[in-house]
Structure 1
Amino acid sequence: MWSCGPLNGTAGAEDQPLCQQFHLALSVLSLLYLLLGVPVGLAYNALLVLVNLCDQGGMTMPDVYFVNMAVAGVVLSALAPVHLLGPTTSGWALWGFSSEAHVTLLVLSNVSALVTTYSTALLSLDCYIERALPRTHMSSAYNTRHVCGFVWGGALLTSFSSLLFYICSHVAARATECSQMQHTEAADAIMVLIGYVVPALAALYALVLLSRIWKEDTPLDRDAGRLDPSAHRLLVATVCTQFGLWMPHYLTLLGHTLLAFRGRPVDGRPLGVLLFSKDLSRLLAFSSSCVTPLLYRYISRTFPGRLRRLVKKMHCGRQSCSPDQAGVQQVMA
């Protein structure tokens, strides 16, 4: 799937076996993700959305953000085979498509990536607000739903730069304003700044603030309205996972942008290393779509109970379950 073609003629013979081993390992990992990670990501993300939407009254502020990330995860999981096996890979592609389809898929993946990172950053900020001001309504589930709507709108506006560069590549001969917008490196630089640096700094700032009051024990900690302690562990795991898996992808975009702006030709050995890093970072980025719902499944204390209630409700069907059976199950729980 991935070859050492870009290195031919530039690397020594002693580098070829090592290159082939790296690309073979990357091919195996990519195929494993496509065979296992994509179905798991689609199934668990869809299950996360279904359970929360069927129990909207029991949704808390973190649940709304995780539903938002699950919807973006479904899109990323669906686009993973196209990006990992399509013409954007460094090796041979199993299929090809027009430039219009390529830009459309690129915009969809950028929007989903932005929604994922910004939802993670806003989740950490709202968790700090809930911790510092437990009785405020600023971090309620009702307000969070509206915030998630703004996140999707902002992601669409930010991804508009990709469409703008594509349009200018076709009308540059007739519009002088597009003469400086014929390179995708500028769009990559915008994505690095807005898509990763800004939300990463916001999440880091929120974690620093949370660390200062994490061990403070106040009477408000015993309020029933406060978040479950497992939500804090889930927050840390989600922030570290999301930004850790997306960091190589944005670092690769940043490296390609810097090389292009400095006027260095990207060929030979640098091209092979860059293409290999790009493929590996893309694989790590797409794998985040299946890791996050698994974290939510095994760390959240409320999700297993709501999942059992949903299964019980679906099992009963149109016939309502008897009150005695429901009461016995509540006592068993």
Structure 2
Amino acid sequence: MWSCGLLNGTGQGEEQLCQDLRLGLWVLSLLHLVAGVPVGLGYNALLVLANLSNKSSMTMPDVYFVNMAVAGLVLTALAPVHLLGSPYSRWALWSLSSEAHVTLLILFNVASLVTMYSTALLSLDYYIERALPRTYMASVYNTRHVCGFVWGGALLTSFSSLLFYICSHVSSRITECAKMQNTEAADTLLVLIGYIVPGLAVLYALVLISRIRKEDTPLDQEAGRLDPSVHRLLVATVCTQFGLWTPYYLSLLGHMVLVSRGRPVDGHYLGILHFAKDLSKFLAFVSSSVTPLLYRYINKNFPTKLRRLIKKMHCGQRRCSLDPAGVQQVMAQA
């Protein structure tokens, strides 16, 4: 992923360290492409299909996880190009045009924003469900509409990258675009909207949830309430997503800090920065494979939905017999 050309002329020890780091990153990237990408594609696709084929049994958390799974499919599809197609790669096969790089960047940012905001909104809606039962404020119907706004907002925010690319080509003609030739403003916007805002929302929601859990009421034993495993799934998802995405946003923040100094960055720090960006992107791609695995092993209802999906696939056009477990679950949610 990362070339040591930026460190030419440095000490022998730093050059050897650079080679070792690049080799380690290549090994991790290849392992993820061989194992992580198939797992991510398979489990994200199963998560989406199993829930969409059983829409009547979907709960509020399921809707958010379906959106994260769709974003995970996008990230998994982009992983081979990003992990093997770094601008410093010498592979002619991955020598993409600048237009293609901008397109990939926009898709990556959209998936990132959808993942972070789905996690934040899941935390907030889980608190609403616990604090205000029977209000249906965090219902499946409302959640689907909210997720539509999340995708639309992610597209609008990611278009800032496209705007900076266009301005870099017409800056000689338009004076306003001459002030927008770098991407630091776009990175600042992405860090603020894509990380700080959802991070504060998650932190606020977790504090409120922790207070509610200390004051459980008899309503928590109702059959219509969310399964207790949802809390474990929520905590695991928040820790995973923010743990694996934080290095990426920190690398953007570090780049902005270095540029704001107004002095050229020497090859040593520039090489470290590029390596940090590549490593942080690798961790971001790993998140797309870990999240569906968490959903698979923590959510107790997923195996049942998966069996129903397989049964429907075997039935084909024939009418399948009703699943007693599925009927009971729907009646319990009604």
* TM bracket, shorter-chain basis: over 0.9
Matched letter for residue 226 of structure 2: L
Q: C-alpha displacement at 1:178, in angstroms?
A: 1.2
State the match for 1:202 in structure 2: 201
Q: C-alpha displacement at 1:17, in angstroms?
A: 2.6
Contact 1:130 1:139 in 2 (8 A): yes
| Closer, same or farther: CA 300–25 of 1 in aligned 2, 3 Å | same
State the match for 1:184 in structure 2: 183
Matched letter for residue 122 of structure 1: L
In structure 2, how many angstroms separate the alpha carbons of the residues matched to 1:238 and 1:69?
10
State the match for 2:42 in structure 1: 43
In structure 1, how many angstroms separate the alpha carbons of the residues matched to 2:253 and 2:176?
25
Q: C-alpha displacement at 1:276, in angstroms?
A: 1.0
Q: C-alpha displacement at 1:206, in angstroms?
A: 0.4
What TM-score does the superposition give when structure 2 sets the normalisation length?
0.93
State the match for 2:90 in structure 1: 92
Q: C-alpha displacement at 1:258, in angstroms?
A: 1.1
In structure 1, how many angstroms separate the alpha carbons of the residues matched to 2:282 and 2:256?
20
Contact 2:2 2:86 in 1 (8 A): no
Q: C-alpha displacement at 1:116, in angstroms?
A: 0.5
In structure 2, how many angstroms separate the alpha carbons of the residues matched to 1:265 and 1:157?
32
Q: C-alpha displacement at 1:224, in angstroms?
A: 1.6
Q: C-alpha displacement at 1:146, in angstroms?
A: 0.2
1:146-295 equivalence runs, <5 A: 146-295=145-294
Show structure 2 runs of 5+ residues with no match.
329-334
1:24 corresponds to 2:38: no
Kindly provide the CA deviation profile for residues 5-38 of structure 1, in whole angstroms up to 9, marking residues without a partner as x. Answer: 221212x212333322222111100000111111
Matched letter for residue 250 of structure 1: Y
The alignment covers a number of residue pairs equal to: 327
State the match for 1:69 in structure 2: 68
Kindly provide the CA deviation profile for residues 263-311 of structure 1, in whole angstroms up to 9, marking residues without a partner as x. Answer: 1312321011111111100100111111110000000010011111211
1:4 corresponds to 2:8: no
Contact 1:2 1:92 in 2 (8 A): no
Contact 2:6 2:267 in 1 (8 A): yes
In structure 1, how many angstroms separate the alpha carbons of the residues matched to 2:326 and 2:56?
20
State the match for 2:106 in structure 1: 107
User: Superposition RMSD on alpha carbons, in Å?
Assistant: 1.9
| Closer, same or farther: CA 177–328 of 1 in aligned 2, 3 Å | closer
Show structure 1 runs of 5+ residues with no match.
none
Contact 2:57 2:326 in 1 (8 A): no
State the match for 1:59 in structure 2: 58
Q: C-alpha displacement at 1:317, in angstroms?
A: 2.9
Identical aligned residues as a percent:
73
In structure 1, how many angstroms separate the alpha carbons of the residues matched to 2:298 and 2:65?
13
In structure 1, how many angstroms separate the alpha carbons of the residues matched to 2:102 and 2:116?
21
Matched letter for residue 15 of structure 2: Q
Matched letter for residue 128 of structure 1: Y
Q: C-alpha displacement at 1:102, in angstroms?
A: 1.4
Contact 2:164 2:182 in 1 (8 A): yes
1:13 corresponds to 2:40: no
In structure 2, how many angstroms separate the alpha carbons of the residues matched to 1:189 and 1:200?
15
Contact 1:134 1:225 in 2 (8 A): no
Using the TM superposition, name which of 94-103 and 145-154 deviates more.
94-103
Contact 1:124 1:206 in 2 (8 A): yes
In structure 1, how many angstroms separate the alpha carbons of the residues matched to 2:191 and 2:254?
10
